[in-house]
């Protein structure tokens, strides 16, 4: 059985084989029926040539030597709590984001990452093509963070953030930055920062560079998506329109 995969069926459970093939872009439904009758299709290692055959996402369908991707694609918006690893597993036994999705049948994984001590919006899916697309630098997806920082940044600090600044020998892209609130007594401030880059620890390093280290960090938006209606540890499925908008980027 070949390892190469074709198509994505996006199927519900127990659908007719020819419909699954057509949904995955193998061929039209009529042409798919002919391929089945011609013995070109196998299910779980057995050639099938009956048009009434039904398959589910757990079945392995091979068409002309290539495996069909029959697992239903799922998409979730997750409010990641602090103290959770952005990974599918952890060799130190720490809590990971997939621990919150144990009732989900599909094997999902995070799109990008948030630090262990950072909370906020994280996408979870089993759609590798979309995940890779969203993470590619050319897409320049805005991500807004709210940071609690030591000290109170001044206008010159915000100017540096907005124009771009040198961080570890490389200039950052222009960002959107504004002061949300300031506690003069405690010498703390809440700052909103919107960037489209995704360098390692970038937000923390940008605030370090202006002399205002991050004490607490939360990602509030990812493109047009927000945390509205969710509390820490909650998740929801993306709507059809939201998925369509993400795929159109």
Task: Report which of 101, 139, 148 is spatially closest to residue 122, judged by C-alpha positions.
Answer: 101
Whether pLDDT at 70 is above 80: no
**Model pLDDT, residue 29:** 87
Point out which residues pair with 153 in neighbouring strands.
Answer: none
- Residue 185 makes CB contacts below 8 A (sequence gap 6+) with none
Confidence of residue 21 (pLDDT cuts 50, 70, 90): confident
Share of the chain above pLDDT 70, in %: 94
Alpha carbons within 13 A on the beta-carbon side of 144 = 14
Tally Cβ neighbours within 10 Å of residue 147: 24
Q: Which residues are catalytic?
A: 115
Task: Report which of 184, 179, 190 is spatially closest to residue 154, judged by C-alpha positions.
Answer: 179
Phi, psi of 33 (to 5 degrees): -60, -40
> pLDDT (tens digit, 9 = 90+) per residue, 135-186?
988 889 999 999 999 999 999 999 999 999 999 999 999 999 999 999 999 9
**Model pLDDT, residue 9:** 57
Whether pLDDT at 3 is above 60: no
Whether pLDDT at 58 is above 80: no
Residue 29, class by beta-carbon neighbours within 10 Å (0-12 exposed, 13-18 middle, 19+ buried)?
middle
């Amino acid at each position: 059985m070949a390892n190469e995969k074709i198509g994505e069926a996006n199927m519900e459970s127990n659908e007719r084989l020819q419909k699954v093939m057509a949904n995955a872009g193998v061929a039209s439904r009529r042409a798919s029926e002919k391929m089945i009758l011609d013995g070109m299709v196998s299910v779980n290692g057995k050639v099938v040539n009956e048009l009434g055959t039904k398959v589910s996402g757990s079945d392995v369908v091979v068409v002309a030597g290539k495996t069909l991707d029959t697992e239903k694609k799922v998409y979730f918006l997750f409010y990641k709590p602090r103290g959770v690893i952005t990974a599918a597993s952890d060799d130190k036994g720490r809590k990971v984001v997939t621990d919150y999705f144990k009732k989900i049948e599909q094997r999902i994984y995070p799109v990008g990452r948030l630090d262990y001590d950072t909370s906020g919006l994280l996408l979870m899916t089993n759609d590798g093509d979309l995940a890779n697309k969203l993470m590619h630098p050319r897409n320049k997806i805005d991500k807004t963070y709210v940071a609690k920082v030591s000290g109170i940044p001044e206008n010159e600090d915000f100017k540096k953030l907005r124009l771009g600044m040198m961080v570890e020998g490389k200039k950052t892209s222009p960002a959107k930055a504004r002061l949300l609130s300031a506690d003069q007594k405690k010498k703390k401030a809440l700052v909103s920062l919107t960037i489209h880059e995704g360098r390692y620890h970038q937000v923390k390093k940008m605030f370090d560079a202006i002399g205002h280290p991050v004490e607490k960090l939360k990602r509030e938006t990812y493109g047009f998506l927000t945390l509205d209606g969710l509390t820490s540890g909650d998740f929801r499925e993306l709507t059809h329109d939201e998925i369509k908008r993400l795929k159109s980027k």
